[in-house]
């Protein structure tokens, strides 16, 4: 067993301490995704950014998001605003290419600080229920998609931008959750192509992604089991407060 563990650590290119933190963080993030419909990558990034560079985290999170989205896709298709999601995905396809380029250009320490600051700001805006009314227009769809793509390329948190967009439209909770799920599934196609094009899908990253996808899936199943409709109004604020705290702690560690 110990030999298998050491071989796995070598394949994923992580030391034991960081690997254990990652397993715990991703399982918790999966639970959050299971009962809120978003924040899988956000929680993962908030906890792991001080230990793993964004250029390695972003492709790893791609595997996690694809796994979670496939598990939750059926409900998302039924409940989502599909024309809106299509516009968001088109904008995101452009934004993710720019975001990855910027992340690769930045110094690793600065890119970590940028990722955590972006996460903190987006979570705070959602918690404050800031409604960017200009987003609730036809041009706003592509603009929000572009912003989501940038956030994905910088920190794998495009879903946070889309959540702000849906908030601006005063969408019902079920539609918001379904739209986020469907957006995350559709946008991963474009993101995956961009990640391959940038050469970020290294052997170690793929090994991490496949291994941690199993952990994320277990978390999602647990989260779905814990989901209780009568408590739905409490899930998102609690999640956002958690994200703000984690992002703030991570930012202090990085700086």
Q: What is the pLDDT of residues 66-94, one digit of tens each?
A: 988 788 766 556 667 777 888 888 889 99
- For 121-134, letters b (16+ CB in 10 Å) and e give ebbbbbeeeeeeee
In terms of pLDDT, which residue wins out, 149 or 186? 149
> Closest by alpha carbon to 212, among 11, 6, 2?
11
- Asked if 188 and 153 count as a contact pair (C-beta separation under 8 A), the reply is no
Mean pLDDT of the residues in the chain? 85
- Percent over 70 (pLDDT), the chain: 92
- For 49-86, letters b (16+ CB in 10 Å) and e give bbbbebbbbbbbbbbbbbbbbebbbebbeebbbeebbe
Asked if pLDDT for residue 180 goes beyond 90, the answer is no
Q: Which of 95-99, 121-125, 165-169, 235-239 has the lowest mean pLDDT?
A: 165-169
- Read off the pTM: 0.85
Asked if pLDDT for residue 56 goes beyond 60, the answer is yes
Residues sharing a CB contact under 8 Å with residue 79, sequence separation 6 or more, in sequence order = 174, 175, 177, 178, 179
């Amino acid at each position: 067993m110990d030999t298998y563990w050491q071989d796995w650590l070598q394949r994923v290119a992580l030391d034991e301490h960081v690997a254990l933190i990652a397993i715990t963080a991703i399982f918790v993030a999966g639970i959050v995704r299971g009962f809120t419909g978003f924040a899988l990558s956000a929680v993962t990034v908030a906890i792991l950014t001080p230990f793993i560079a964004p250029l390695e985290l972003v492709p790893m999170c791609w595997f996690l998001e694809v796994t979670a989205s496939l598990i939750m896709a059926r409900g998302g298709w039924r409940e989502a605003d599909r024309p809106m999601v299509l516009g968001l995905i088109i904008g995101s396809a452009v934004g993710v290419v720019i975001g990855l380029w910027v992340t690769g250009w930045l110094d690793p320490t600065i890119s970590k600080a940028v990722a955590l600051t972006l996460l903190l700001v987006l979570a705070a805006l959602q918690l404050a229920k800031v409604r960017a009314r200009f987003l609730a227009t036809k041009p706003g769809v592509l603009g929000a998609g572009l912003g989501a793509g940038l956030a994905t390329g910088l920190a794998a948190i495009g879903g946070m931008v889309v959540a702000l967009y849906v908030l601006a439209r005063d969408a019902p909770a079920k539609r918001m959750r379904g739209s986020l799920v469907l957006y995350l599934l559709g946008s991963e196609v474009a993101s995956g192509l961009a990640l391959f094009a940038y050469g970020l899908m290294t052997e170690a990253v793929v090994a991490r992604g496949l291994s941690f996808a199993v952990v994320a899936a277990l978390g999602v199943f647990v989260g779905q089991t814990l989901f209780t409709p009568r408590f739905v109004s409490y899930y998102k604020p609690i999640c956002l407060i958690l994200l703000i705290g984690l992002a703030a702690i991570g930012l202090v560690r990085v700086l």
